[in-house]
Amino acid sequence: CVTIQPKSPSKNTNIGSVSVTWRRNDSVQTFTTTSWPLPIVSVNSLPVFLTNTLPSFGTLFDPISIRLCVVNISNYVQEIDIVAEPGDLFMFAGHKHLRCKILPNDKVYLQYQLVPLKSGLLSMPQPVIKLLRHPDIETSVLTNKLTKSIYVKPKVFVAK
């Protein structure tokens, strides 16, 4: 993943070209340089940033604490709507829905508990986020950097 910061606020940004210098293995010739332009990409500046905090692994039937942080990186108040969808692999405890306003350069946290019902590498439930003041922004980009899976160990029972 590459982060691009445009110098001027525009929708389409030219990201340059790629140049490769090469020669054949059996050749004693000089190197050849091949260049081609990269496509023009559409750059959207997002008003919020999203992170989540969770342990590196879980244990079957033991609660896992998840903390979702939404940071307003714009100069305006942002109104958000977050819905946490637990799925079939986890039992859910906590607020499933959060609707709030975030001041500029401020943070809002959503904390909940997930109890894994199966062991192995499980897909984490992904929150659904809507920016109410910017309905045209594709918010799936916000959740791309969130943790997608967690390993759940089986619980060891000791017989007495």
Beta strands at 120-123 and 17-22: parallel, antiparallel or unpaired: unpaired
Q: Residues 79-93: what's their mean pLDDT? A: 87
pTM, two decimals, is 0.70
Exposed/middle/buried for residue 59 (C-beta within 10 Å: 0-12, 13-18, 19+): middle
Higher pLDDT, 68 or 144: 68
Q: Residues 105-120: what's their mean pLDDT? A: 92
Residue given tokens 């559409």 in the structure block: 42
Determine contact, residues 155/127, Cβ cutoff 8 Å.
Answer: no
